[in-house]
């Protein structure tokens, strides 16, 4: 695959990332008292964005494979988990399946690209 090529999975993965942030915010704003709601509703997605930009984004500041996996699991897994708190069960299951499929495709494709380049 050429550098700069955008696939359907890239678009789906980006939308999943945005959904994870929105779901974290929605869950945070439904949790606890006023201070807790604001702290979690704003803080959790903000922390996710910072960690994603540092370690998991395609142009992440730091290229540490283990941290990329950990941050991906935390951010996308957190969004999937939050979906069970704010969405009907069927939608939550669908979001979780989409997270798993798009992430698996991204990691498998990324590893193949490394193998082909060597």
In a domain, 106, yes or no: yes
End-to-end CA distance of the chain: 14
- C-alpha torsion sign, points 46, 77, 10, 59: positive
Domain range for 102 is 8-117
In a domain, 2, yes or no: no
pLDDT in tens, 8-65: 888 888 999 999 999 999 999 999 899 999 999 999 999 999 999 999 988 899 999 9
Indicate the number of domains in the chain. Answer: 1
**Number of CB atoms found within 10 A of residue 45's CB:** 23
In a domain, 66, yes or no: yes
pLDDT in tens, 65-103: 999 999 999 999 999 999 999 999 999 999 999 999 998
């Amino acid at each position: 695959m050429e550098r700069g090529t955008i696939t359907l999975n890239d678009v789906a993965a980006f939308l999943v990332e945005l959904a994870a942030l929105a779901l974290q915010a929605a869950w945070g704003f439904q949790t606890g008292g006023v201070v807790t709601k604001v702290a979690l509703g704003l803080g959790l997605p903000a922390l996710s964005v910072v960690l994603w930009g540092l370690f998991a984004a395609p142009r992440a500041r730091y290229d540490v494979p283990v941290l990329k996996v950990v941050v991906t699991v935390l951010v996308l897994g957190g969004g999937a988990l939050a979906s069970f708190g704010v969405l009907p069960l069927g939608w939550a299951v669908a979001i979780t399946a989409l997270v798993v499929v798009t992430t698996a495709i991204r990691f498998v494709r990324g590893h193949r690209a490394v193998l082909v380049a060597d």
